[in-house]
Structure 1
Amino acid sequence: MVTTSRPLHTQKELLKRDLALAFRVLERHGHGFGLAGHITARSPGEDSFWVHYWGLGFDEVCVSDLVRADMDLNVLEGERAINVALHIHTRIYVANPHINTIIHSHPAATVAFGALGLPLKIYDQSSTLFEDNCANFNEYGGLVVDKAEGEALAAALANKQVAILQNHGLLATGGNIAEAVIAAIQLERSCALNLAILQSGQPGIEISPEVARLTRKQIYRPESFLNHWAYHSRRALAANPDVLQ
C-alpha cells in the first residue's frame, strides 16, 4: 500500500497499481455487474482522485485505464470520459478528508437485503466491522448525477464506513484501498448471512453490541486490513497478470 514516506510520484504509481487490482479483487467477489459501479482513490497530495474511464467492467480495468479527475469531474490526466455519477464519491471526499478510497457497487446479496429496508444484524465475528458502522440510505431517486444528490448520500453515510443503498447497492470507504475493499467484501457476505437467516424462518442469535465492539477491535486492526488485502491482491494478480498493463 501507499506510504507517505515514498516520493510523491512513487506513491501515485503504487496507488494506481492497487486501484486497478481492487477492481479485479472485487470482480472475484461478485461486485462487478456489466459497466455498473466505480472505485476511486484520492490522489496523494492533490485535490483530485483516480478512477477508471467510462465503458469498462471491473474485470477489464488495467493500470493504463485509470484517469485523474477533480472534484467537479473535470479530467486532469487521461483523455477518456468518466462516469457522470461520480458525485457519489466527490461529495464524500469533500466532507471527509480522512477518507481516501470509495467503492460503489451493486452485488446481489446487498441489493436484495437493501430492498427489505432492514438494518444489518451482526451474526458472526467478521460482521462485527459493521457494529454501529453501517448506514442505511432508503431514498432511492434514480442515478446520482449532481452534487446535491451526492451530498445527500454523504450526509446519510455520516461517520459510518459503509452504507446500504436501498434498491441500489453499497458504499464502502476507507483511509486506504485495503480498508475499503475488505469492507466491501465483508458487507456483501454479511448481507448474504442476513438473508439466509431470514429465509430460514428462525430467529437468528445476534452478537451483543458490547461483544461486537470488542471483537471488532481484536479482528480489524490496521495491519489486519493490509494482510487481508495482500492475500486478495496476490490472488487477483496471479489470475489477471494483465492488470498491470
Structure 2
Amino acid sequence: MSSTLQDSKDDLMRRALDDLSRNVADSELTPRAKLALTCRALFDAGHDSGLAGQITARAETPGTYYTQRLGLGFDEITAGNLLVVDEGLNVLEGTGMANPANRFHSWIYRARPDVQCIVHTHPFHVAALSMLEVPLMVSQMDIAPLYDDCAFLADWPGVPVGNEEGEIISAALGDKKAILLAHHGHVVAGASIEEACSLAMLIERGAKLQLAAMAAGTIAPLPDRLAREAHDWTLRPKRSQANFAYYARRALRNHPDALEN
C-alpha cells in the first residue's frame, strides 16, 4: 500500500479500472435469462404495480425485442415465457399478447440505436415524486450515474398506447439514460440489460431520497465537476455488470424458477 500513497487520483482510478476489467467477468447468461432476472430483481425492489410497466430488451433479429406477456406480473416472468415481438407488437415467438403500452418502446429503440434494454415501471417513490411535477434531483453519490442523465416530461400525455405518446416520450428522453414522467413513472434506456437494471434500481432510490430530503429542507446541489466525475466513474459497463451479477444472485435465491424455459 505504501507504494501507492503518493499516486495521483487519476493514476489510482486508472489502476482500479484495469482491476475491474480483469476481475469482473462477462455474464454467461442469455438475454432471456438476464431479462427474466431483471423482472424478478425489480419486483423485489418494489417496482411492481400490478400488471403495469414493461421491461424489454432487443432480440437477435433487428427490429424485434423481448417483452413479458400481458397478464403476467414481474414475479411470474421466466426466460421461457417471454415473448418476441416486432415494432408493431406482433408476436413472433411465444404465446399471448404484449402490453399495448410497449408501443413507445419501439419508438425509443428506433430513435436510439445505443439502447439495448428499456425499463418502464411505476415504483412507489418514483410515482409519488411524479405527482409533484418536479424533476429528479441527483444530490447524493449513490445516484451519480443519473447525474445530468435523467430527463423530465412535465406534461402527462395520457395512456401510452398510441404513436403520439411514442413520439413525445422518445423526444423528451433525447440522449439521456432515463426520464421521469410526470403523473406516471419512469423510463430507463440502458446500453445493456445490466445497465438498465442497475439504473432502474437507482432511480427509485433517488426518488425515495429526494422525497425524504424535500420533507426535511432544501436540497443542496452537487458541484458539477465532481458530480460528472462520479457519473462517468460509476456508469461504466464493468460496474453495471458487477451490480447486475449481485442483483441476479439475489433474485435467483428468491425466485429459483426464473430461468425455467
TM-score normalised over the length of structure 1: 0.92
1:235 counterpart residue number: 250
2:110 counterpart residue number: 94
Q: Report if aligned partners of 1:24, 1:61 keep a CA contact under 8 Å in 2.
A: yes
Q: Report if aligned partners of 1:131, 1:209 keep a CA contact under 8 Å in 2.
A: no
Task: Write the distance in 1 (CA, Å) between the matches of 2:138 and 2:52.
Answer: 28
State the shift of 1:122 in Å: 2.0
The one-letter code of the counterpart of 1:118 is: V
Aligned pairs (5 A) from 1:169-208: 169-200=185-216, 202-208=217-223
Indicate the SS of the match to 1:241.
coil
Q: Report if aligned partners of 1:17, 1:63 keep a CA contact under 8 Å in 2.
A: yes
Task: Write the distance in 2 (CA, Å) between the matches of 1:148 and 1:118.
Answer: 23
1:211 counterpart residue number: 226
Task: Write the distance in 2 (CA, Å) between the matches of 1:119 and 1:76.
Answer: 37
TM-score normalised over the length of structure 2: 0.86
Indicate the SS of the match to 1:86.
helix
1:62 aligns with 2:113: no
1:221 aligns with 2:236: yes
Task: Write the distance in 2 (CA, Å) between the matches of 1:141 and 1:213.
Answer: 31
Indicate the SS of the match to 2:199.
helix
Which sections of structure 2, spanning at least 5 residues, go unmatched? 1-26
Which sections of structure 1, spanning at least 5 residues, go unmatched? 1-10
1:112 aligns with 2:128: yes
Task: Write the distance in 2 (CA, Å) between the matches of 1:25 and 1:94.
Answer: 27
State the shift of 1:117 in Å: 1.5
Q: Identity rate of aligned residues, in percent?
A: 35
Indicate the SS of the match to 2:30.
helix
- Report how many residues are paired: 234
The one-letter code of the counterpart of 2:39 is: F
Task: Write the distance in 2 (CA, Å) between the matches of 1:81 and 1:87.
Answer: 13
Task: Write the distance in 2 (CA, Å) between the matches of 1:203 and 1:120.
Answer: 14
Task: Write the distance in 2 (CA, Å) between the matches of 1:212 and 1:135.
Answer: 16
Task: Write the distance in 2 (CA, Å) between the matches of 1:162 and 1:214.
Answer: 18
Indicate the SS of the match to 1:192.
helix
Task: Write the distance in 2 (CA, Å) between the matches of 1:152 and 1:241.
Answer: 39
1:8 counterpart residue number: none
Q: Report if aligned partners of 1:87, 1:150 keep a CA contact under 8 Å in 2.
A: yes
Task: Write the distance in 2 (CA, Å) between the matches of 1:218 and 1:101.
Answer: 21
2:180 counterpart residue number: 164
Indicate the SS of the match to 1:63.
coil
The one-letter code of the counterpart of 1:237 is: L
Indicate the SS of the match to 1:102.
strand
Task: Write the distance in 1 (CA, Å) between the matches of 2:80 and 2:59.
Answer: 16
1:20 counterpart residue number: 36
Q: Report if aligned partners of 1:70, 1:76 keep a CA contact under 8 Å in 2.
A: yes
1:5 counterpart residue number: none
After superposition, give the CA deviation of every residue in 1:71-93 in whole Å (9 maximum; x if it has no partner): 01111111211111111211000
The one-letter code of the counterpart of 2:226 is: V
State the shift of 1:144 in Å: 0.9
1:151 aligns with 2:151: no
Please provide the CA RMSD for this pair.
1.5
1:84 counterpart residue number: 100
